[in-house]
Amino acid sequence: MNRPLVAILSGAGISTDSGIPDYRGPNGLWRKDPEAEKLVTYEYYMGDPEIRRRAWQMRRKNRTLQAEPNAAHRAVAGLERSGVPVRVITQNVDGLHQLAGMPARKVLELHGTARSFVCTGCHARGPMEDVLARVDAGEDDPRCLTCGAILKPATVMFGERLDPVVLGQAAAITKACQIFIAVGTTLQVHPAAGLAGVAADHGARLVIVNAEPTPYDEIADQVIREPIGTALPKLMHKLRTEDTHQTME
């Protein structure tokens, strides 16, 4: 009767069908505009007002906050609603898993969220829309209304450490799960990439759903190269029916 715990590690590839480009793929943001990486590098961002101005304009134009969940996000949420224990560990900052219906407490955002801002001085937080409204009104480098310090998105920039609490929770889930699915991630950015190896070492069934080869394909129990928008709903449906059969036995 015990249902297997399913851990899903999601990367940028799960959100491309929602209109959010990935970073390192053939049409990725960093490949098309290497200078864009400076806009999300903590040292450059904190030290250069012009970088901050460009970064706020980039946030005004990007489609992350307008994006809607796609079939893959909905399939993951559907698996959770069916009663299968699901935990999502995501490298994405778009919040689409939660918008699709995954309970926020079951989603670990390794790289933070683009839907909130944080003050680099007093650590006040709030909705990103509030700051973008100020940028729309003419502020090119908005400061904290409480303490006057520099504001940034509540994402982990290059040069910042991941939250050790969130990382610890991700490691605990990875060690405890029976099925670990890595979807839309190149599995090249550590420490997140290493979770696939940890899962396999602890006896989980490792499934990789990604268009390009990853360093962990050789140890995976299953590698799926189909488009994520069709592959993941099929896989989630299979897990639901597998689980039903196990429960009925």
Which residue numbers are catalytic? Answer: 111
Comparing C-alpha atoms, which of 185, 186, 187, 220 is closest to residue 205?
A: 220
Neighbours of 63 (CB within 10 A): 11
CA distance linking residue 178 with residue 185, whole number of Å: 20
What φ, ψ does residue 243 adopt, rounded to 5°? -65, -40
Comparing C-alpha atoms, which of 94, 68, 97, 108 is closest to residue 192?
A: 108
**Contact call for residues 18 and 67 (beta carbons, < 8 A):** yes
